[in-house]
Structure 1
Amino acid sequence: MMYLLLIVGFVLLIKGADFFVDGASSVAGILKVPSVIVGLTIVSIGTSCPEAAVSISAGLSGNADISLGNVIGSNIFNLLMVIGICAIIKPVPSPKEILGRDMFWNIACSILMFVAMIGLKVARYEGIILLAGIVAYIIVLVRSALKSGQDDEELKIIPIWLSIIYIIGGAAAIMFGGDMVVDNASKIAENFGMSKTLVGLTIVAIGTSLPELVTSIVAAKKGNSGIAIGNAVGSSIFNILFILGIASTLSPIAVDKDLLIDAAILIAVSVMTFCFAKTGKSTSRIEGIIMVSCYCAYTAYIIARCYA
């Protein structure tokens, strides 16, 4: 039963995020907010709602290992599997803005998270610093987009009453889905003798990253593989600054010392992703295979570490 409830929780998270984004985007369109700002704020944050709901729920319920493991595991999955699989389907080009701006933000955020974890606790003031970072990052994105005139996308407008239902219903689904995922993932961990850190790094991380994976694969199949790298890198930045920032601000997060190793691996993965994207201005199929192989090796390592 717990497995079924876990799946239901993931469905609520993903579909809830979809409805929330649609409703919020529609309201923004009715209020004449530029679509580029909507895309860089509401949509970006909305697609990170599954991770946010799980991390916040885990932190408040005393399952901090799942909370922090979810952020680190999701980022490693996004960078290695999302970009790697898309590169195998079709080489992923590296847009100049992402290569020269977002990649550096991603590496810097990974280092910042590692530094915050060194004392084996992510304190409230560190969470506030992370939240200040996401505000700064969004401002940089919006200024860059407005300067380049990227505002040619039409927002889908739905009736205001339906938009409100979407927002409230989506938020409720995200909240209940997050609680269901954390509760049942914790029970699975106990039944199999798995650490909550391992569950956060694997089952929960992969489950909450499914929207990014599906979106990127669909884009790659349509020949828009460049979306994959922006989707994965942007999501990774939001996970650290927005999700970890909120979770640790609400409740300081105790850090399992093993997660320091995973955070260090994330820094290495971030640098590797940048190097692959830099060479030839794209991530090749061979590099994609290497990235997917690295994720499989990493998963084997953390499972072996758990049962050692």
Structure 2
Amino acid sequence: MISSILLFLLATLLLVGGSELVSRGTASMARHLSISETMIGMTIIAFSTSSPELLVNVFASAGDYPDIAFGNIIGSNIFNILIITGVIGLLCPFSVKRASVLKLLPFSIITTILFWIIINDVALFGSNHNELSRLDGGILVLGVFQFFLFYIIYQLALSHMKLTGGYALRVPDLLTKPFKEKEAEPEPDDKRGIIYTPVFSTIFFLIGIASLIIGGYLVVNEAVVISRDFGPSHKLLSLSFIAIFTSIPELTFSIITLRRGDNSLAAANLLGSNIFNISFVMGISAFIKPLSFNTALNTDMFILVLTSMMLYFLFSGKRVVKHWEATALIITYLAYLSFIVVRG
């Protein structure tokens, strides 16, 4: 039993370390290609920091552990909203000024509500059981995720054209020509971080992927063993321990970007990760194997929708997230943790 706990902790370290290496490798390669910082934050970094959730869900789905798959994503997104926003707000009151980031807020809410709808087949569609089917997975990946990518490119293009007086920018130019949005503040050179050689970037990426695969397999495997030997349900483990550990890369990146003074990039990563978790990670999970949805998780989904709307209020209007609001977010998460532990 002790060995299972130690292996679980080792697996989470592999996930966190692997995500960090993948993030460094991909971000460095993107900078070699002169891809804009906003695009890196919204896509490459957001997807890289969500790679632990992806690998855990791949193995959970393949092993037919739907509660782990759903709980991991729901718990991670709640953690991202309440803890990451709370921590960076405590470290330094901040506001989000980039228009393209702010416009992700309604998209995040709509994605979350759509996900909630398609997993409640019994109540809404009269089916025999609640399931995230392969068709639902196709809607998430080929519909929502693809639209998300288009949405980002479109918003960045709009911002650029406003600055250039309506110059029609081609998509390749948009990706490779950095520009400052109207609301963005001047960016010092050190914000771009360390740029590694292409060889080192590739090595980091490959080692990171290997660590993620091993870590993802061990997390699911040992979580099942711990649940069997100690009694906590798959639902409780995934909503709490697994969700927290797989969200550490997002938290780390957000703190680093905050220290560099780029609040909007931290918010872009948070929102991008949450959308990626639902649209791509859950979509791929359903492709691997249809997942039965435990209706007990509807309470957690309601909390996720509520916190997503709360984030809209906190970020919209370029208002500053104050210390007391950040503290309230953290206290809310601790209360949520207490609730799921008591519920079991």
On whether the aligned pair clears a TM of 0.5, the verdict is yes
1:34 is matched by which residue type in structure 2? I
Question: Do the aligned partners of residues 163 and 232 (structure 1) sit closer, same or farther apart at CA in structure 2, a change above 3 Å counting?
Answer: closer
Q: Please state if 1:131 is matched with 2:141.
A: yes
Question: Do the aligned partners of residues 165 and 88 (structure 1) sit closer, same or farther apart at CA in structure 2, a change above 3 Å counting?
Answer: closer
Task: After TM superposition, list the pairs within 5 Å mapping 1:106-185 onto structure 2.
Answer: 106-119=108-121, 120-132=130-142, 133-149=144-160, 151=178, 156-160=195-199, 162-185=200-223
Structure 1 residue 154 displacement after superposition: 8.3
Pick aligned residue for 2:277 from 205, 230, 239? 239
Q: Please state if 1:74 is matched with 2:101.
A: no
Structure 1 residue 7 displacement after superposition: 1.8
**Equivalent-residue separation in structure 2 for 1:163 and 1:268 (angstroms):** 39
Task: After TM superposition, list the pairs within 5 Å mapping 1:55-70 onto structure 2.
Answer: 55-70=57-72
Question: Do the aligned partners of residues 59 and 299 (structure 1) sit closer, same or farther apart at CA in structure 2, a change above 3 Å counting?
Answer: same
Structure 1 residue 51 displacement after superposition: 0.6
1:121 is matched by which residue type in structure 2? E
Q: Percent identity?
A: 30
Higher Rg of the two aligned structures: 2
Answer whether contact 1:5 1:180 (CA < 8 A) is retained.
yes
Q: Please state if 1:23 is matched with 2:62.
A: no
**Equivalent-residue separation in structure 2 for 1:174 and 1:287 (angstroms):** 34
Answer whether contact 1:130 1:241 (CA < 8 A) is retained.
yes
Superimposed CA distance per residue, residues 22-44 of structure 1 (whole angstroms, 9 cap, x where no aligned partner): 434455566x4634555543332
Q: Please state if 1:282 is matched with 2:284.
A: no
Q: Please state if 1:296 is matched with 2:334.
A: yes
Question: Do the aligned partners of residues 218 and 124 (structure 1) sit closer, same or farther apart at CA in structure 2, a change above 3 Å counting?
Answer: same
TM-score by length of 2: 0.81
| Residue aligned with 2:195, SS | coil
Answer whether contact 2:98 2:264 (CA < 8 A) is retained.
no
**Equivalent-residue separation in structure 2 for 1:224 and 1:69 (angstroms):** 31
Q: Please state if 1:200 is matched with 2:238.
A: yes
Answer whether contact 2:104 2:271 (CA < 8 A) is retained.
yes
Structure 1 residue 297 displacement after superposition: 1.0
**Equivalent-residue separation in structure 2 for 1:163 and 1:83 (angstroms):** 29
1:190 is matched by which residue type in structure 2? R
Q: How many residues of Structure 1 are paired with residues of Structure 2 in the alignment?
A: 304
Superimposed CA distance per residue, residues 246-278 of structure 1 (whole angstroms, 9 cap, x where no aligned partner): 111211111111111111110011111112223
Superimposed CA distance per residue, residues 221-263 of structure 1 (whole angstroms, 9 cap, x where no aligned partner): 4544444332222211111111111111211111111111111
**Equivalent-residue separation in structure 2 for 1:98 and 1:274 (angstroms):** 14
**Equivalent-residue separation in structure 1 for 2:159 and 2:98 (angstroms):** 13
Answer whether contact 1:92 1:228 (CA < 8 A) is retained.
no
1:127 is matched by which residue type in structure 2? G
Q: Which residue of 2 aligns with 1:272?
A: 310
Answer whether contact 2:47 2:272 (CA < 8 A) is retained.
no
1:61 is matched by which residue type in structure 2? G
1:139 is matched by which residue type in structure 2? F
Question: Do the aligned partners of residues 299 and 29 (structure 1) sit closer, same or farther apart at CA in structure 2, a change above 3 Å counting?
Answer: closer
Question: Do the aligned partners of residues 147 and 154 (structure 1) sit closer, same or farther apart at CA in structure 2, a change above 3 Å counting?
Answer: farther
Answer whether contact 2:42 2:269 (CA < 8 A) is retained.
no
Answer whether contact 2:16 2:249 (CA < 8 A) is retained.
yes
Answer whether contact 1:23 1:166 (CA < 8 A) is retained.
yes
Q: Which residue of 2 aligns with 1:34?
A: 35
Question: Do the aligned partners of residues 140 and 303 (structure 1) sit closer, same or farther apart at CA in structure 2, a change above 3 Å counting?
Answer: same
Structure 1 residue 140 displacement after superposition: 1.9
Q: Which moved more, 1:151-160 or 1:296-305?
A: 151-160
Task: After TM superposition, list the pairs within 5 Å mapping 1:245-256 onto structure 2.
Answer: 245-256=283-294
Q: Which residue of 2 aligns with 1:229?
A: 267
**Equivalent-residue separation in structure 2 for 1:73 and 1:257 (angstroms):** 15
Q: Which residue of 2 aligns with 1:103?
A: 105
Answer whether contact 2:96 2:264 (CA < 8 A) is retained.
yes
Aligned alpha-carbon RMSD (Å)? 2.3
Q: Which moved more, 1:248-257 or 1:278-287?
A: 278-287
**Equivalent-residue separation in structure 2 for 1:279 and 1:173 (angstroms):** 41
Q: Which residue of 2 aligns with 1:218?
A: 256
1:193 is matched by which residue type in structure 2? G
TM-score by length of 1: 0.89
